Amino acid sequence: MRAVPSLLFCKLSHSIVLLRDPVEMAGALSLLASGFPPAEQPGYLDTLARLVSRPTAAEELVVAEARQANQRTGIALAQLLAGRAALVWPVRAVAQEVAGNLLDQVLDELRLRGGKRALKLSSKTAFSAPAGSVLRIETPGGGGWGRK
């Protein structure tokens, strides 16, 4: 049985829904990858495809999509991590207000799922962790660092 997205928010004719079906998530996340430099997009698309293909994708990922009529106008993604933490990817949207509403919905859903701390995915991030914590970093590769 195919999961039906749940309607969460409607303002200024933009509807925001949480996507729970990995197939729908995969289609929506192509917009997220489009925000990265063209040379990096294939790597990010591969990373996102691996995330949504996991058997636990529906439990580990929070994907909020904004639509206006039949047009996708924004996407937000967060990954739930061990220890009730989450990683929030950069939000992609046609307008700042839509981006803010998407981020609010993702953070609300993270709280409902027991999330206590959300970290923003960016090129530079600083945070503290207790001694003995394990940090796993997954990247799409590339970046041109090092010798050829």
Give the pLDDT confidence of 11-22 residue by residue, as tens digits. Answer: 457 799 999 988
pLDDT tens-digit readout, 51-105: 899 999 988 999 999 999 888 899 999 998 888 888 888 888 988 889 889 989 9
92 within 8 A of 73, measured Cβ to Cβ: no
20 within 8 A of 5, measured Cβ to Cβ: yes
Q: Look at residue 136 and tell me whether its pLDDT is greater than 70.
A: no
DSSP state of 105: H
Arithmetic mean of pLDDT over the chain: 79
**6-120: CATH class:** alpha beta
Closest CA to 2 of 20, 15, 16: 20
Pairing mode, strands 85-88 and 117-120: parallel
| Domain range list for the chain | 6-120
What is the residue whose two structure tokens read 């529906």? Answer: 58
Determine phi and psi for 121, rounding to 5 degrees: -80, 120
What is the residue whose two structure tokens read 């590769």? Answer: 141
Q: How far apart are CA 116 and CA 113, in angstroms?
A: 9
pTM: 0.71
Mean per-residue pLDDT, 42-51:
89
